[in-house]
Amino acid sequence: MSEKVIIRQKRNYETNYMSLDPDEPGSDKPRPVRNIQELTPYGMVLAGLGTCTAFVVNTYAEHHGIAVDAVELKLSYQRTFKEDCEHCEEIDKYEEIIKMEVSFEGSLTSQERDKLFKISLHCPVHKMLKSGIKVKSQPVLHAVK
């Protein structure tokens, strides 16, 4: 399974979402996402990571007087389910990878670009995904009304 999402956030925090169709191998033409239901659950995770990252970069730039016009993130999730499930009874952990390319628009120095990239790694969602998080679930004993 492969999922690709592109997030573009302007300095004013206006955010555009695009995706590449996972059902069309080799497709590299992004299409606008107009409704969150257009994304798979994996796409939603990528969109959350990209949006948080762009927000952190834009907030930092705004507070430090760095003239970034926009932040663009290309995110992809990669996992070969078929290969994983050939021996899924024996596997305790699957190899899942999120790749993220971060680019900046604006008249920035190389030092500013380097600093903004380092700041992009401080997104709380990035930290959570990188270090992992335990999810504790329990049933609710009464029906939802």
List pLDDT tens digits, range 106-120. 999 999 999 999 999
Contacts of 47 (CB under 8 A, 6+ apart): 5, 7, 17, 33, 36, 39
Sketch the domain layout of the chain as residue ranges. Answer: 2-131
pLDDT at 9 over 60: yes
At residue 59's C-alpha, the angle toward residues 125 and 98, to 5°, is 30
Domain spanning 2-131: CATH superfamily: K homology (KH) domain (3.30.300.20)
Q: Are 104 and 71 in contact (CB under 8 A)?
A: yes
**Local structure of residue 35 (DSSP, 8 states):** S
Q: Which parts of the chain fold into alpha helices (H)?
A: 41-63, 81-85, 110-120, 124-131
State pLDDT tens for residues 16-47: 999 876 555 556 677 778 777 878 888 999 99
- At 26 the pLDDT is 58
Give the pLDDT confidence score for residue 27 in this predicted structure: 60
**Unique residue bearing structure tokens 């999730």:** 77
Round to whole Å and give the CA distance between 131 and 125: 10
What is the model's pLDDT at position 82? 58
Q: What is the pLDDT of residues 45-76, one digit of tens each?
A: 999 999 999 999 999 999 999 999 999 999 99
User: Which of 33, 60, 57 minimizes the C-alpha distance to 47?
Assistant: 33
